[in-house]
Amino acid sequence: MWENRCKIAVSGVGFSKVSRLADTPLAAHALTAVKEAVADSGLQMSDIDGLATYPELPATGHAEVDGISIVSVNCMMAMLKLPNLSWHIQVGTTNIGGALQQAVNALLAGVCNYAVVWRAMHNPRGTYQNLPSGQAAGATQFTAPYGFGGPGQGMAVAYTRWLERNDQNREKMATLAVTQRKHTQHNPHAYFHGTELTREDYLASRMVAYPFCLFDCDIPVQGAVAVVLTTADRARDLKPKPAYLAGYGQRLHFEVAGRIGSLSSYMEGGSSSAKLTWERSGFTPKDVDVAQIYDGFSASVIYGLESYGFCKEGEALDFIQDGRIELDGDLPLNTFGGSLGTGRIHGLWHIIEGALQASGRAGSRQVKDANVSFVGASAPIVTGTTFIFVGEPY
Amino acid sequence: MSDWSKVTRPVPVPNEWTKPFWEAAKRGVLELQRCQSCGHFQHPPYATCTQCVATDLQFEPVRGVGAIYAYTIMYHTGDKRFASAVPYASIIVELDDAPGALLAGNLLDAEYTEAKVGRRVEMVFEKLNDDITLPQFRLARAPAE
């Protein structure tokens, strides 16, 4: 087991309003979320001395403009003018989960005491994923000429392989979409709070990239979420009950850029990250009380459930049936609604929900007696990270 | 059947690693990067052998026959250039002689419903302009060996 388990904790969390249109600059969303997270902890902004994020715009073919389409560490530093800032970082290889892990490492190293991690997501005007204009350079030269644009299509091809090799039926995915939308009704911050989704809606919805219909894809939104991390000793003196970090992992498998559709790459990415997390925490999938698994595209949940070890390969769509992933089921899943419910904010919201469930702070969606709380914070192929939070340190 | 006649595809821009692939395609030959140490074919081209980490890599001809490894049917018309072909099949092919190398393509000359994992396909060339000829796929006409 990891000698540093339960030495770092998640304290406060914060959310901006999630909107479909980018009518407020992204920097304002990020600032709102960060201020709310600091206030939720009962801290002053001047207490914050560490900053970490993953400032990326997943929409292809749009300009990255700091404060408008991304919110970098520099942008946040300029807005907050923190008098005690002592550490900051932006990560590249591991998405927002990696930024959070770096904040954990910095806290363990003692180079900061209260770190804020945020993820701000922009919804550009026009088509979200644009193919290259006239020319396809770099990795896209082998994919864009055939109509492959965004990551969803790359994930769709692996999903057909999964479905047909395992003799499975995409209609079973309706259970995931409908259950998560039910959970969404307990999350007032979510984009789809107040909007129901039925099995019939799912089955009748238009195809985007087969096997993905509209409700297999998270909706692009403008919004931000943030979290305060600190050492366990300090967290115990703050307002909210801490969620202790029991272990984490990151994907150790690398896929060559432009090589798309490999199902085994999803599995190797996910299992390498989860293996580290199980070993460091000492838990196994059977010990988990509640799970958040990244669902930007629904099939990510399949790859997650199977590669993390919750069920066998080829069985995930059967595993999620019969109430298992309901709030009172054996494995309550994406209890905040997931990205399919909140809108596309990437994995920091999964991490936040994992922490809230572990500390008993999830309100009307709280899973009863939840202690061991698992998070898979992004699609396991490229940027996968995994976490376990607990309410009771051990 | 998808109407490709009105589709203007993004044109590949060869770089130092990929130039031999596109030069061979222009001659009507499919050549993939091959490790001279372990014999492994790989695609897309990379700095090292993804199997044995050797750096001596050469492009060698390979037979353009294989099976559909995975596919998607594109319905979304966000990119208007492809709108006239919707719905169309974009496929990933694993060649018989290059396991692990994955080539993207469209399934040409067939209904999109013909795309299935494991179905046999063969490569054909589609000339985009004087410099770039694109490898593409159609259902296999020759019986599998």
- What is the CB-side half-sphere exposure of residue B41 using CA atoms within 13 A? 20
Domain hosting residue A64, numbered range: 8-125+218-390
pLDDT tens sequence across B120-134: 999 999 999 999 999
Query: Is A172 domain-assigned?
Result: no
Q: Tell me what pLDDT residue A184 has.
A: 98
Q: Does a structural domain hold residue A210?
A: no
Interface of A with B in 292-331 (CB under 8 A): none
Residue type, B101: A
Within chain B, strands assigned E span: 11-12, 31-35, 41-42, 57-61, 65-74, 88-95, 102-108, 120-127, 133-139
Task: Specify if A13 maps to a domain.
Answer: yes
Q: What is the pLDDT of residue A336?
A: 98
CA dist., res. A202 & res. A171, Å (int): 8
* Residue A254 contacts B, CB cutoff 8 Å: no
Task: Sort out which chain A residues have CB atoms less than 8 A from B75's CB and list them.
Answer: 206-210
The pLDDT value given to residue A150: 75
Task: Work out the end-to-end distance of chain B between its first and last CA atoms, rounded to an integer number of angstroms.
Answer: 28
Which residue is associated with the tokens 């296999």? B140
Q: Are A275 and A352 in contact (CB under 8 A)?
A: no
How many domains does one find in chain A? 1
pLDDT over 80 (residue A380): no
- The pLDDT value given to residue A379: 77
Q: A66-79 pLDDT, tens per residue?
A: 999 999 999 999 99
Q: How many A×B Cβ pairs under 8 Å? A: 123
Residue from A157, A163, A164, A266 whose CB has the most chain B CBs within 10 Å, to mutate: A157
A132–B18 C-beta distance less than 8 A: no
- Find, among A119, A134, A182, the residue nearest to A341 by Cα: A182
Closest to A216 (Cα-Cα) out of A109, A299, A315, A329: A299
Mean pLDDT lowest for which of A53-62, A297-306, B16-25, B30-39?
A: A53-62
- The string of pLDDT tens digits covering residues B43-90 is 999 999 999 999 999 999 999 999 999 999 999 877 788 999 999 999
Residues of B in contact with A124 (CB under 8 A): none
Residue A384 located in a structural domain: yes
Amino acid A350: pLDDT: 98
Q: Does B86 touch chain A (CB under 8 A)?
A: no
Kind plus residue range of the DSSP H or E element containing B20: helix B19-26
Q: Does A211 sit behind a cis peptide bond, omega within 30 degrees of 0 on the bond before it?
A: yes
Residue B142 pLDDT > 70: no
pLDDT value at residue A114:
98
Give the whole-angstrom CA distance, residue B48 versus residue B45. 9
Between these two residues, A216 and B1, which has the higher pLDDT value?
A216
Residue A327 domain-assigned (yes or no)? yes
Length of chain A: 394
- For residue A239, list its beta bridge partners: none
Q: Model's pTM, two decimal places?
A: 0.96
Nearest by CB to residue A261, choosing from B46, B50, B92, is B92
Q: What percent of chain A has pLDDT over 90?
A: 85
Q: How confident is the model at residue A85 (pLDDT cuts 50, 70, 90)?
A: very high
- At A333, list the tokens: 């899943």
pLDDT at A295 over 90: yes
On average, the pLDDT of chain A sits at: 95
**Taking residues A137-143, what's their average pLDDT?**
92
Taking the CA of residue B143 and the nearest CA in chain A, the distance in Å comes to 23
Please report whether residue A193 resides in a domain. no
Q: Which chain B residues are Cβ-neighbours of A165 within 8 angstroms?
A: 117
Q: Are strands A385-390 and A114-121 parallel, antiparallel or unpaired?
A: unpaired
A309: phi > 0 → left, psi -120 to 50 → alpha, else beta; which? left
Residue A251 lies in a domain: yes
What tokens appear for A264 in the block? 């085994």
> Is the Cβ of B78 closer than 8 Å to some Cβ of chain A?
yes
This model of the complex carries an ipTM of: 0.96
* Assigned domain for A134 exists: no
Q: Which residues pair with A117 in a beta bridge?
A: A52, A227
The pLDDT value given to residue B145? 52
In this structure, the dihedral spanned by the alpha carbons of residues A106, A111, A116 and A119, taken in order and rounded to 10 degrees, is -40
pLDDT tens column, A305-333: 999 999 999 999 999 999 999 999 999 99
| Nearest CB partner across the interface for A210, out of B9, B73, B105 | B73
pLDDT at A177: 98
- Assign B14 to helix, strand or coil: coil
Q: In this model, does residue A383 exceed pLDDT 80?
A: no
**Secondary structure of residue B21 in the 3-state scheme:** helix
Q: Do B73 and A142 touch (CB under 8 A)?
A: no
**B145 Cα to chain A: minimum distance (Å):** 22
Please report, for the domain that includes residue A326, its CATH number. Answer: 3.40.47.10
Question: For chain A, what percent of residues have pLDDT higher than 70?
Answer: 99
Q: How far is A197 from chain B (nearest CA, A)?
A: 22
| pLDDT given at position B144 | 53
pLDDT of residue A183: 98
pLDDT exceeds cutoff 90 at A94: no
Average pLDDT over residues A10-21: 97
What sign does the CA torsion over A302, A305, A309, A315 have? negative
